[in-house]
Amino acid sequence: MSKDKEVDLRDRQGRNWIYSDTVKEHFFHPRNLFAPGEEENYQADGVGYVGSPACGDMMKLWIKIDPQTEKIIDCKWQTFGCASAIASTSMLSVMVTENNGLTITQALELRAQDILERLGGLPNIKVHCSVLGDKALRAAINDYFKNTKQHGRIIIEGAKIVDKVLKVTDKDIEEAVLDGADTLEKVQAKTKVGTGDPSCLPEVEQLIKFYRDKYYN
């Protein structure tokens, strides 16, 4: 296939199906990837987890933030998914740390379209992979806000707030269960849910049962 023909089959909006050279590069040589087990000694300021084993692609993102400048100074990740998912997360990790890092405010403005642009486009049936990447980033930043007790800065997207004091959502409960927390005590250890608003605990227990049945039956 000629180079001109390849360009015809792919564009930056992902309407076509040929992988760009940039996507191939980040798939075969991913940046900032954690090898299995390496994350155990990594002192992250925030961790974001999106996706599920039930529907395919999953992403987990670790970030370190300079408390003085609020810049993301390091970003590591693991992804279970296709070439597009791997390339998208690899590119995202580069985008948030290059040139001394994005500030939290800048990182929260990052969208899937920005990742697509840097990748040179994705096949349209794979665009959801870049969407998972920016969601994982925002989840990691929210986790940083929780860890630093900046609950007023937490951004809620398409989720129901369960603990109204700590702003723990049903999505947080879902992610905790997916990460192996199958009891109220284990979910509380991960999310602190109920320590701010104990009245929510009956709902939390129902959510744990729902997600446990949904994913592990």
Active site residues: 55, 129
Phi/psi of residue 13, each to 5°?
A: -90, 0
Q: How far apart are CA 29 and CA 116, in angstroms?
A: 18
Q: Which of 4, 50, 15 minimizes the C-alpha distance to 125?
A: 15
Side chain identity at 136, as an amino acid letter?
A
- Per DSSP bridges, beta strands 46-51 and 58-65 are antiparallel
- Per DSSP bridges, beta strands 168-169 and 161-163 are antiparallel
Q: How far apart are CA 19 and CA 13, in angstroms?
A: 12
